[in-house]
Chain A
Amino acid sequence: MKVVSDISLQEKLHILADAAKYDVACTSSGVDRKGKEGYLGNSVSCGICHSFASDGRCISLLKILLTNHCIYDCKYCINRSSNDVVRTAFTPQEVCQLTIEFYKRNYIEGLFLSSGIWKSPAYTMEQICQTLYLLRTEYKFNGYIHVKAIPGAPGELLSAAGYLADRMSVNLELPTGEGLKKLAPNKSHKTILKPMRMITDTIAGHRLTIGKSAQMERSSSNRYLENSIFSAAQTGQQSSAVLQGSAGRQQIPGEVSSAAAETVIMPENPGTSGNFTLPAELRRRDWKRPFAPAGQSTQMIIGATPESDYHLLKTTQHLYQTYDLKRVFFSAYVPLNEDSALPALDTPAPLLREHRLYQADWLLRFYGFQADELLTIERPNFNEQLDPKCDWALRHLELFPVEINRAPYDMILRIPGIGPKSAMRIVQARRHGTLDFPHLKRIGVVLKRAHYFITCSGKMMYKTPIEEQYITRQLVGINQKENWQIMHQREQSFRQMSLFDDFQMQA
């Protein structure tokens, strides 16, 4: 291991951004906060992407590691302790300076701070808290902060981070305990789920004391869906279990149950080393910042272990329901290390699979689908050729075609080619008159998918037999191009030659 001390800020940024790029979450959404005079920054709940990197992923936050020193040896990770890479670390001041200056030039929406495990989880979390505290107070930063909670750090430090940041996340890494044991010998689901549970409970407690419901807000279309994974019947028993659970378990220090949240007072010396004294302001009751107002998220690596899509999706739904996460991210495994327990180095990243999982994730959160409707134990993986919504519709042709002028909102939402926005517009517009296909097109319905499944005033757009075979053939044809692009995105496609670019001719 090389440790270099005299290293320029630019090199540091290169190393620590490069090491952080495999983290997926880069969203700046979920919280609306006005700016304040004397402070820098605000936050917009829709989220703002500021650029798009060469891989097409959005750049909205300054995504860096505090350090790439790490005592753990997770097999899939570029920063594992057995890898011979240049190690370095930012000082808290450097992180603050970068964030502030980038923010003023409108390069970024805020900070995403993660870290390798430096000396111990507690020490790492202390450094992170110190950085965030400096950024919020001395540098008067009022923008978005996403912080990683380090599993194994003391609860007080995690709650301190939560009061400074907008969103917290703990990476689940792999959906099964066995997979984790195999690839990340220093981690276990128990140590990962414990801070996740603690953050969930603290968020719920904080929300109750400020007069909101214990559960995070969800997309407004969910209000009209009876059977969504967030509806009361689905999560009611889960959330009561949350509250009972937090009262019943032995109290983790710093954990706030809903009743006790009002009197949150934190101990003076939370860290084990005692180097970091929690600032008095944080311990005062008039500390104005809410606890992680944009909620909690997590991510799972797909393709490194042999789990099925069904397993992943069930885990995702479980996380939404029991831990009330805002988002679950999937990360297609990119081979970085050579190891017998891992796929070979030349394995392509399973990008189409990742795409299908995100599509399904959207169906869970916005469309009122359940994991069991999309996949079953008998059919554990997604259809490569069709997106999950089309796939579902083709297996339930008995429900189609749907009459646009009559059907209930939740049924309209299940038609391929119609999303929450156009479904809502259809419901609003049909109060004022009958809708026909040209109207639907202007409203924003993707008719090339939808027309197989709908009627307007009893007529279909074309003469279409409602036959699984026929419609599948048609839809696969439409999807083929998109799928091919996702699978072959790295390969250079054909393009028009230019005398000026290719042969350096001068005009």
Chain B
Amino acid sequence: MTIYTCGESFEEMMTCIYEAWAGRRGHANVKLQLEPVVQPELFCEYIPVGADAEKAQKVVRAIRQKISAEAYRQVFYAAMSCFPDRLEAIYRFLVLGFACGAGVTDMFSEAPVMRVLELSRKCGNETHYFREFTRFVCVDEKVYVAHIEPKCNITAMTARHFADRMPSEYWMIIDDNRRIAAVHPKNQPFYMTGLSAEEMQRLAEARRQNDLYTELWKEFFRSIGIAQRSNEKCQRSLMPLWYRKHVTEFLP
């Protein structure tokens, strides 16, 4: 058995798939794993793969042309999800996809297809949750800053939504765990950037900014619930506690 390993970026994953495919060892004889490999298996050859833009591009092009745009969307979302088996799942999905073509996304009775659908759905749902629950605070009456801690890597997808929504504002969305940020200057497209420890520190200070409107919002939130129908359980299942970490109305 040969095991190809790579890092978590989309480019590395696609390169890894390319290498595993081009190695010609037979699909049954290869496995793909994300680094770090915590517990290596005996009798396996490990081949670490680094990012290669050209090879990744080739895989992406092949998926879009030989399978379908929908398949590519599912692969991308699955790759951005947070499950450790995602790379292997995508590989098995592609083996089937290159054999059957565009119909593969409907073949729900095949386990790899269903798994990739589940992964992409998980990621897509989380993107939607963060469209809902991301909260901005206003810094210096000009810049809107949001901190989020998502499980899947959805910052870019969330930022795309806000770029359409607030094209003429300065804003940034910061993923506290991955230390990446989407930055949007006024009337320009947004870009993704990594953040250093000092920058994170500086941004963390601005987190608990309270102004008139945070108070007003909390007041509104308290007033709008009907006491005679109070139902905390329902509230908790619709808005689980871990989402509330940076949500204004649940902060003290």
Contacts and interface: CB of A to CB of B under 8 A. Distances in A.
A35 B165 contact: yes
B68 interface: no
Nearest to B234: A56
A19 to B, nearest CB: 9
Contacts of A39: 167-168
A13 B238 contact: no
Interface string B71-106: 000000000000000000000000000000001001
Nearest to A62: B220
Given A105-B137, A106-B146, A334 B249 contact: no
Nearest to A101: B213
A35 B132 contact: no
A58 interface: yes
Contacts of B223: 13-14, 17-18, 21
Interface string A100-139: 0110111100000000000000000000000000000000
B229 A55 contact: yes
A105 B144 contact: yes
Q: How large is the interface on A (under 10, 10 to 19, 20 to 34, 35 or more residues)?
A: 35 or more
Contacts of B108: 425, 428-429, 439, 442-443
24 contacts: A14-B223, A21-B225, A22-B226, A34-B164, A35-B166, A40-B169, A48-B131, A50-B133, A52-B235, A52-B239, A53-B224, A53-B225, A54-B225, A54-B235, A55-B226, A55-B230, A55-B234, A102-B216, A106-B135, A106-B162, A107-B248, A432-B103, A442-B118, A490-B230
Given A334-B228, A429-B107, A442-B108, A53 B221 contact: yes
Interface in A1-59: 9-10, 13-14, 17-18, 20-22, 34-42, 44, 48-59
Contacts of B169: 40, 104
A98 interface: yes
Nearest to A351: B229
Interface in A311-356: 332, 334, 348-349, 351
B219 A38 contact: no
Nearest to A34: B164
Given A48-B131, A49-B132, 5 more contacts: A21-B226, A48-B132, A51-B221, A62-B220, A489-B229
A206 interface: no
Interface string B162-182: 101111110000000000000
Contact of B136 (A14, A54, A104): A104
Nearest to B115: A442
A485 interface: yes
Interface of B: 103, 106-110, 114, 118, 128, 131-138, 144, 146, 161-162, 164-169, 187, 213-217, 219-235, 238-239, 247-249
A435 interface: yes
The B contact surface, by secondary structure, is: helix
B167 A429 contact: no
Contacts of B146: 106
B213 A489 contact: no
B166 A40 contact: yes
A439 B166 contact: no
Contacts of A50: 132-133
Contacts of A48: 128, 131-132
Given A18-B223, A105-B138, A107-B217, A41 B233 contact: no
Contacts of A107: 135, 217, 248-249
A44 B217 CA distance: 23
A465 interface: no
A464 B133 CA distance: 45
A102 B217 contact: yes
Given A48-B131, A101-B213, A105-B136, A37 B103 contact: no
Contacts of B133: 50-51
Interface in A422-446: 425, 428-429, 431-436, 439, 442-443
Contact of B107 (A13, A349, A433): A433
A58 B217 CA distance: 15
A451 interface: no
A63 interface: yes
B234 A489 contact: yes
B216 A10 contact: yes
Count chain B CB atoms within 10 A of each CB in A14, A52, A348 and give the residue with the most. Answer: A52
> Which of B110, B135, B144, B219 has the most chain A CB within a 10 Å cutoff?
B219
